A and B are shown apart, each in its own frame.
Chain A
């Protein structure tokens, strides 16, 4: 590990580590998502086509991994951008909790959208 990597990251070790872990999940998961959904099923996308994939546990795991890792990586990334433009102290805490609440809501909303297929 390069010296100072963690010290330089706003938000400490755990957010830094999670950003890297979700990055790896996204590289693998998004590659699979793009190739399977948009190349192998090119022109075939439909409600039933999605249902066929979500009948397989593997794709359920991939979808939830993408949903969770994507939301975390996106919001923590936006947070790091915003921290470069003057959020600190109390406003930084409020920003972090606001983004956290938004992320939880987005995960719930995304789960709700997948529900009809998962319970079919």
Chain B
């Protein structure tokens, strides 16, 4: 693919400027993070399951520590953004709301912030009630 073709493809993927560029870039970065996490997740659960019930439960005690819960919140932020912006991209593919792509980007950000606020509250309450 030539440089020019690549630029054209990028324009098609995310309108290569302003809000559209950031939407595309965040989608790509969160996508790579989530792809790598998925295989780490399959690996960790498999290793845990292979150790039997006792080993699996010991592993979960570690995964429910404050450090891992906070890491989970960052992971969830990537999931929520990628999912909501994915819906935005699906709409564009269907030919819907392309001219409102900037408004939709801010709607994606706003919805992500609200969802993350709820999960942050749940997580921090859990940490507080279980002690550090």
> Which residues in A have some Cβ–Cβ distance to B below 8 Å?
1-2, 4-5, 8, 10, 20, 23-24, 26-27, 30-31, 34, 38-39, 42-43, 45-48, 50, 67, 70-71, 74-75, 77-78, 81, 83-84, 88, 106, 109-110, 112-114, 116-117
Contacts and interface: CB of A to CB of B under 8 A. Distances in A.
A27 B83 contact: yes
Contact of A88 (B1, B53, B87): B1
Interface string B49-76: 1101110110010011000000010001
B42 A81 contact: no
Given A23-B90, A74-B39, A109-B43, 5 more contacts: A43-B64, A48-B53, A81-B32, A113-B49, A117-B49
A21 B63 CA distance: 31
Q: Is the interface of B mostly helix, strand, loop or mixed?
A: helix
A27 B87 contact: yes
A20 B90 contact: yes
5 contacts: A5-B93, A24-B90, A38-B72, A71-B38, A113-B49
A119 B113 CA distance: 41
Given A47-B57, A81-B32, A109-B46, A1 B86 contact: no
B31 interface: yes
B31 A81 contact: yes
A23 B98 CA distance: 19
Contacts of B87: 27
Contact of B35 (A43, A77, A117): A77
Contacts of B130: 43
Nearest to B31: A77
A31 B53 CA distance: 26
B105 interface: no
